[in-house]
Amino acid sequence: MRHIKFIITLCLFNIFILHSNNSYRGENAWLNYRFVEDSVLRNDYKTIIGKIFLSENKFGDVIKSELKISLIKLLGLEVYFTNNVEEAGLCIYIDKNVKCLRKEGFLIKSNDKKIILQSFSDEGLLYGVFYLIRKIQCHNSLKNLNLIEIPQIDLRMLNHWDDIDGNIERGYAGKSLWKWTELPEKIDKKYYDYARLNASIGINGVVLNNVNADPRFLRDDYLMKISALAEIFRKYNIRIYITANFASPIKPSKTPDEMKAWGGIGDLDTADPGNENVQIWWKKKIEEIYRLIPDFGGFLIKANSEGMPGPQDYNCSHADGANMLARLLKPYGGFILWRTFVYNKNVDNDRMKRSYKEFKPLDGQFEDNVILQTKNGPLDFQVIEPPQPLFGAMKHTNMAAELQITQEYTGHSTYLVYLLPLWKWFLRFDTYCEGKGSTISKILKGNLYGRNITAIAGVANTGSSVNWTEHHFAQANWFAYGKLAWNPDVLENSVTIEWIKCTWSNDIYCVETIKNMMCSTWKSFINASSPYGLGLTMDIPTHYRADFNIRANKEWQVDNIGIGNDRSDKGSNFVSQYYEPNSLIFNEIVTCPEDLLLSFHYVEWNYIMKSGNTLKDDFFYKLKSGIFQVKRNIYLWKSLEKYIDYVRYEDVLNSLICEKHDATRFYCDAVSFFYSRINMIDINQINKF
């Protein structure tokens, strides 16, 4: 009888597990603690971990909770904590003698019987525990470890472009996570889950609202709502930042749209940073914020860009505006993140040159708690574009790179486009600002110039979708950004494999197949939408589909002779903003890297490329790349059906099918344009797809 009951129980358990796997929708992202089925490996983990010693620290409750959740799911191990270091298999404690780890670093040492996780501070323990859990998720050995992890960038931030009405600008995963109508009374569980995910990859700062800032976020009632979020986030070492509208001290306008441009929440008639009453207004507002949020990080400001108000409206410089706010924040340890995304057409005819021309003359004029937040390129988050020459040029100013995780120009949440290769390409770029080897990675880490603070920002791709990012593979870009923010020199392959193992499977075939699907998508999307770095080829206003027609002879030149942009010394001379030898290399067609050729040169269609083909032949062949890529990915994904849980398998397959449809349409539209406008291609080629 007992034997029969056991069999029935086992069958019911298996049915439950099967149902759970088949109904999983990706809500845990890379914290998907799947049971370690290899009994030998599982027992190795259980033997070495045993009881756990955890020293007192301010993140103790979070650490204990995560260990309990992860170890029971991964190993079936019920966690026991002990105050006896000697009997503990896993010892987690603070050691004030290891100052080299700084505030957030940690070290892990182990032998066959014990694991020691040490840090100099509470924060290091938090990050170290998540790191150790990932080791188990990836089925890595916990024996004979001897490693040190120290974040290379101080402020590792996510920027949310969330509006007060719940919409997200350039958001493709549902509505905003922040339910402003419910806060502060009602706290959504998803706020805790979001904080967990960020803490697990080292994110320590979050900007809650859109850079096109609504002044109402600084109102008393919204500060109370923001304070409730800050209370949750600080449990995970995440500081809150707010995007502030520069015109906030001005009297309210009639409509929200007018308020964004020329209205605020104050009682003044001006927002002049030199005006004493304006300074008093900001001083009182900042005092109010810190009473509610003692660890408030500071303000992100978009000023004098795309209709947003700023100091230039009062004949003041960006430095004048940033410094006024920075001085008021300094006593509290707060920062001003001042965006350099400006492209006033009165500054220069070439949009590429405008940000540099506005900010380079101000180098050295900013307070030491001002950080210039600068997009990776001088255009606008293109799939590929030349690195922004301000990196390296601003030798006396704190600089932060702004990367875009949300896929504004890279297929939204329809396309599978893995962005880590793009970001690594950008970070490896040698500026030569201090001679050979002056990479952007070194600049951001503060290795080249003495920086008071180092920072990096990523425009978030999260929303109210069950799986956070709508496309399951878009989670990889969030994860990869966090790993990159921790260490810009992290190896691309290791990050990719780690995400796959934590999110999908540890099976070797599954890991290799998914990696093959991901790693070529960035290059394919370049070829399919912006061959040779043409830039700004997407439609307006969605920036989703390649629309050559609307951009032709506005953003770049095209005719039946050639295509591209002349930014050489014979054209706009954008090349002069780079240090030698980059300026010389970019200046000549024969030496310019082909992946950026059309960013710097107008090139004739009959120009012979390195492949031996003409530009025309290679250009139109590359436009098909998106179709080839997605067809290949559909084939690879179908080979994984037995490895992937049902819901996520079907979700990804449907996304790939949609991507194939759209990629085909984009190609056909491109062919139609070039046929109708310049008679460069046979219209019959459309029928091939």
pLDDT tens profile 185-212: 999 999 999 999 999 999 999 999 999 9
> According to the model, what pLDDT value does residue 239 have?
98
39-49 and 60-75 helices cross at what angle (nearest 10)?
150
CATH number of the domain enclosing 370: 3.20.20.80
The pLDDT-based confidence of 50 (bands split at 50, 70, 90) is: confident
Judge whether 580 lies within some domain: yes
- The rounded distance, in Å, linking the Cα atoms of 484 and 157 is 11
∠ CA 377-380-386, rounded to 5°: 25
Question: Do 144 and 160 belong together in one domain?
Answer: no
Kindly state whether residues 117 and 164 are assigned to the same domain.
no
Q: What is the CATH number of the domain that holds 139?
A: 3.30.379.10
Encoded amino acid at 6, one letter: F
Of 448, 471, 503, the domain-final residue: 503
Coil, helix or strand for 24?
Answer: coil
State how far the Cα of 624 lies from the Cα of 360, in Å rounded to an integer. Answer: 40
The pLDDT assigned to 427 comes to 98
Q: Which two tokens stand for residue 601?
A: 């040169």
Contacts of 331 (CB under 8 A, 6+ apart): none
pLDDT at 450: 82
pLDDT number for residue 671: 85
Residues 243 and 128 in one domain: no
pLDDT average, residue stretch 216-234? 98
Task: Retrieve residue 653's tokens.
Answer: 């397959």
Structural domain span for residue 678 = 523-688
Rounded to whole angstroms, the Cα distance separating 470 from 465 reads 6
Amino acid (one-letter) located at 346: N
- Domain for residue 91, yes or no? yes
> Residue 380: is its pLDDT beyond 60?
yes
Does residue 436 surpass a pLDDT of 50?
yes
Predicted confidence (pLDDT) at residue 12 exceeds the cutoff of 70: no
The per-residue pLDDT for 382 is 98
Model pLDDT, residue 672:
86
Domain boundary among 149, 171, 187: 149
User: Are residues 74 and 174 located together in one domain of the fold?
Assistant: no
pLDDT band, residue 164 (cuts 50/70/90) = very high
Query: What does residue 675 show for φ and ψ, rounded to 5 degrees?
Result: -70, -45
Task: Output the pLDDT for position 15.
Answer: 39
Separation CA 547–CA 443 (nearest Å): 36
> Per-residue pLDDT for 479 more than 90?
yes
| 516 falls within a domain | no
Catalytic residue IDs: 306, 380, 408
pLDDT at 259: 66
Query: Which one of 102, 134, 149 terminates a domain?
Result: 149
Q: What local confidence, expressed as pLDDT, does residue 685 receive?
A: 54
pLDDT of 393: 98
393-408 tens-digit pLDDT = 999 999 999 999 999 9
Is 415 in contact with 525 (CB distance < 8 Å)?
yes
19, part of any domain: no
Residues 310 and 407 in one domain: yes
Task: Report pLDDT for 680.
Answer: 65
Q: Are residues 191 and 109 in the same domain?
A: no
Q: Is residue 281 part of a domain?
A: yes
Give domain status of residue 89, yes or no: yes
Residues 216 and 135 in one domain: no
**What is the per-residue pLDDT for 253?**
79
Residues 6 or more apart whose Cβ sits within 8 Å of residue 367: 322, 323, 326, 327, 330, 336
Buried-state track 549-577, b at ≥16 Cβ within 10 A, e below 16: eebbeeebbbeeebbbbbbbeebbbbbeb
Segments of 194-347 assigned E as strands: 205-207, 239-243, 298-301, 335-339
Percentage of the chain modeled with pLDDT above 90? 90
Q: Work out the burial of residue 140: count CB atoms within 10 Å of its CB; fewer than 13 is exposed, 13-18 middle, 19 or more buried.
A: middle
| Residues 657, 554 within the same domain | yes
Where is average pLDDT lowest: 136-140, 147-151, 664-668?
A: 664-668
pLDDT value of position 683: 54
Contact 604, 619 (CB under 8 A): no
16 — pLDDT class (breaks 50, 70, 90): very low
- Residues 247, 223 share a domain: yes
**pLDDT at 21 (0 to 100):** 61
Residue 263 is predicted with a pLDDT of 76
Task: Tell whether 91 and 215 lie within a shared domain.
Answer: no
- The stretch 319-335 carries a mean pLDDT of 98
Q: Of 16-20, 316-320, 438-442, 528-532, where does mean pLDDT reach its minimum?
A: 16-20
Distance of alpha carbon 551 from the chain centroid: 27
Q: Report pLDDT digits (tens) over 257-283.
A: 666 666 789 999 999 999 999 999 999
Residues 145 and 159 in one domain: no
**Which stretch of 7-11, 169-173, 644-648 has the lowest confidence by average pLDDT?**
7-11
Q: Is pLDDT of 22 > 80? A: no
Q: Are 386 and 425 in contact (CB under 8 A)?
A: no
Using DSSP bridges, classify how beta strands 398-404 and 155-159 pair: parallel, antiparallel or unpaired: unpaired
Instruction: Kindly state whether residue 81 falls inside one of the protein's structural domains.
Output: yes
Token pair of 243 as six digits: 């995007």
| DSSP codes, 596-651 | GHHHH-EEETT-B-TTSSBHHHHHHHHTTHHHHHHHHHHHHHHTTTTTS-HHHHHH
The total number of structural domains that make up the chain = 3
3-state secondary structure 281-316: HHHHHHHHHHHHCCCCCEEEECCCCCCCCCHHHHCC
Contact 334, 296 (CB under 8 A): yes
Task: Give residue 435's region: left, alpha or beta (phi > 0; psi -120 to 50).
Answer: left
Residue 1 within a domain: no
Please indicate, yes or no, whether residues 270 and 363 belong to a single structural domain of this protein: yes
Q: What confidence score (pLDDT) does residue 676 get?
A: 77
At residue 4 the predicted structure's pLDDT band, cuts being 50, 70 and 90, is very low
Q: What is the per-residue pLDDT for 392?
A: 96
* End-to-end CA, the chain: 64
| pLDDT tens per residue across span 562-592 | 999 999 999 999 999 999 999 999 999 999 9
Contact partners, residue 237, CB within 8 Å, separation at least 6: 59, 104, 123, 126, 199, 204
Average pLDDT over residues 536-548: 93
CATH number of 566's domain: 3.90.1330.10
